[in-house]
């Protein structure tokens, strides 16, 4: 089931994607389930929004693909390398990524995003997928120069607009089905790797993260990026595609 969050007639609503229509839901499915209103709205008449706004945090995993760790000049960590993005960084499909004046280099990082469905604390890896609501696409935008000069990553990863998510949440995504992450800038492929190349799996990441802090419904986990990261500039269009999840497209502008 594919769930979209959308704006229509000045109201923000949720719907199940059914062909070229949205079957409107009565409320946020994270809390209200999948009761429908009986209304259908054509996709062409709505503006898709970020499919979820994390209630508390976006948890990210650094260097979770060996080829990406190598291009960053090191090895993949033995345990998941966690950092956080604020929920104010989240934008939706079609929203502009804004390059801040503080940075001279902003990079794309296409990633699989996991949406948490219920409160998770000290979850065992064997049970971790029971806490997942679904999956979407993320772009861990990074001010690469600030990441290097700051030493820690909060500012470089946390600017407003630095966490595009979308276009929808898929509740039945196949983690072992051979899905690939492909990132393009202006149509040119820069990243292309299978999610099976993750060093630490989704269940392992959820278990590790939930041992440190409580994961709340709507929290998002970005699971790492394959090799091929690179910069973009104002006027570019960045798109991240994951097999079975669609394409997340965002234009770029300067502040």
Taken in order of first residue, the domains within the chain and their CATH numbers are 2-48 (2.30.30.370), 58-254 (3.90.850.10)
Between residues 251 and 74, the one the model is more confident about: 251
Contacts of residue 255, defined as CB under 8 A and 6 or more positions apart, other chains included, come to 98, 99, 100, 101
The stretch 70-98 carries a mean pLDDT of: 94
Distance (Å, rounded) from C-alpha 127 to C-alpha 217? 16
Give CA separation, 247 vs 32, 137, 148, 184, 222, in Å.
27, 8, 30, 10, 16
Residue 36 DSSP SS3: strand
**pLDDT exceeds cutoff 90 at 55:** no
Contacts of residue 10, defined as CB under 8 A and 6 or more positions apart, other chains included, come to none
Contacts of residue 89, defined as CB under 8 A and 6 or more positions apart, other chains included, come to 58, 141, 157, 158, 159, 160, 161, 162, 163
Nearest to 24 by CA among 10, 11, 36, 33: 36
The stretch 206-215 carries a mean pLDDT of: 98
- For the chain, report the end-to-end CA distance as a whole number of angstroms: 37
How does residue 75 score in pLDDT terms, banded at 50, 70 and 90?
A: confident
Between residues 113 and 75, the one the model is more confident about: 113
Using only the alpha carbons of the chain, give its radius of gyration: 17
Q: What is the pLDDT of residue 231?
A: 98
How does residue 72 score in pLDDT terms, banded at 50, 70 and 90?
A: confident
Q: What is the pLDDT of residue 155?
A: 98
Residue 188 DSSP SS3: strand
């Amino acid at each position: 089931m594919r769930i979209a969050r959308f704006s229509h007639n000045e109201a923000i609503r949720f719907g199940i994607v059914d062909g070229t229509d949205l079957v409107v839901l009565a409320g946020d499915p994270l809390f209200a389930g999948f009761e429908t209103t009986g209304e259908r709205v054509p996709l062409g008449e709505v503006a898709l929004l970020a499919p979820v706004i994390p209630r508390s945090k976006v948890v990210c995993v650094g260097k979770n693909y060996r080829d990406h760790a190598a291009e960053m000049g090191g090895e993949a960590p033995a345990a998941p390398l966690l950092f956080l993005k604020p929920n104010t960084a989240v934008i939706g499909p079609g929203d502009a990524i804004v390059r801040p004046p503080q940075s001279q280099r902003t990079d794309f990082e296409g990633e699989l995003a996991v949406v948490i469905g219920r409160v998770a604390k000290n979850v065992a890896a064997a049970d971790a997928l029971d806490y997942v609501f679904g999956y979407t696409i993320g772009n861990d935008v990074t001010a690469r120069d600030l990441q290097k000069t700051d030493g820690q990553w909060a500012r470089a990863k946390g600017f407003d607009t630095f966490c595009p998510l979308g276009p929808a949440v898929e509740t039945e995504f196949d983690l072992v089905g051979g899905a690939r992450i492909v990132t393009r800038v202006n149509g040119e492929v820069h990243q292309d790797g299978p999610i099976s190349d993750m060093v630490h799996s989704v269940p392992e990441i959820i278990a590790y993260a939930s041992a440190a802090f409580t994961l709340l419904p709507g929290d998002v986990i970005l699971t790492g990026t394959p090799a091929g990261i690179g910069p973009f500039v104002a006027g570019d269009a960045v798109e991240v595609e994951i097999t079975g999840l669609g394409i997340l497209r965002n234009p770029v502008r300067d502040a």
